[in-house]
Amino acid sequence: MALLTLASAKGSPGVTTAAMLFGALWPRPSVVLEADPSGGDIALRMPAADGAALDSQMGLSSLVAAGRKSLYPALVDVHAQRLVGGQKVMVGVATPEQARGITQWDTLGRLFAELPGHDTIADLGRVGAGTPQNSLVEASAACVLVVDTLPSNVVHLRERIRRLQETFGRMSGPALSVVVVAPPKRSRAVREVREALEKSELDVGAVHHLAYDPAGAAFFLGQITGNPGRTQLVRSAQPIVEDLARQTESSFVAPEAASPAGDAEQEVTS
């Protein structure tokens, strides 16, 4: 029942892969939400649980269309799909034009932050001043900004963190952390990113190192062969997921402790 958002300040260096990876390793039931207004690509990457292609028309767009008058948690199950391996996903919009038709971003933030029995791991793509998916950041228990080690991208990251903290407040906003995507042996570059943020006196909870590992990432590009648990990508992600799961644990509500069945269609009010 916690909402974890993942985003980048400039470009999208593996945000979708990280979201799918975190969902696969998450210790509680989860749904991966594609909320990138520029267009999602999970439906293009991954097969459904039965091996067929995912339905690109079934997902966020169909959810908001069905919930135009009333968005409630039971609709999520209707419009979500299962990937091979069992992960539940909410496929994103296919084009930016579809995203511009979504007016319920605030309501979507509350819906996925209060989803009974599931945490939500949301891929927001790139965030900036005025991007509509900022409403999901505001509703999230924790927000992860994904960056590589390119100096210009680190500068953008620093400014984006500052803006987010100014917008939401250091105390009332989501807990912020950073994931640096870098080759396994480039821990020094990750340490330099951490030091740059510390010198800027930004309130960042942790700076994690996620291995740049094309072989591991291939599992999230539909190349389902071998054992992903042995890849450097998965091994580096496990302690990150453990830390984020601990951060968000207090926001999770088990199904038996959630609202009674009679409230299953209660509207998430605007």
Q: Cβ neighbours of residue 167 under 8 Å, at least 6 residues apart?
A: 134, 173
Determine the pLDDT at residue 79: 97
Please give the Cα distance from 14 to 211 (Å, whole number): 11
Please name the helix (run of DSSP H) or strand (run of DSSP E) that holds residue 137, with its range, or none: helix 134-139
**Residue numbers of the chain with a pLDDT score lower than 50:** 259-264, 270
Determine the pLDDT at residue 253: 64
Please give the Cα distance from 232 to 257 (Å, whole number): 37
Determine the pLDDT at residue 195: 93
Determine the pLDDT at residue 171: 55
Determine the pLDDT at residue 269: 53
The structure tokens 């996620």 sit at 210
pLDDT tens readout for residues 241-261 = 999 999 998 876 666 655 443
Determine the pLDDT at residue 262: 39
Torsion of CA 190, 194, 196, 197, to 10 degrees: 140
The structure tokens 């470009």 sit at 11
pTM of this structure? 0.90
User: By C-alpha distance, which of 262, 212, 206, 266 is closest to 239?
Assistant: 206
Determine the pLDDT at residue 12: 59
Please give the Cα distance from 24 to 252 (Å, whole number): 17
Structure tokens at 214: 């094309």
Where residue 143 falls (left for φ over 0; alpha for ψ -120 to 50; beta otherwise) is beta
Taken in order of first residue, the domains within the chain and their CATH numbers are 3-253 (3.40.50.300)
| Three-state secondary structure of 52-109 | CECCCCCCHHHHHHHCCCCCCCHHHHHHCEEECCCCEEECCCCCHHHHHCCCCHHHHH
∠ CA 198-200-204, nearest 5°, is 50
Q: Cβ neighbours of residue 43 under 8 Å, at least 6 residues apart?
A: 53, 54, 55, 56, 59, 91, 94
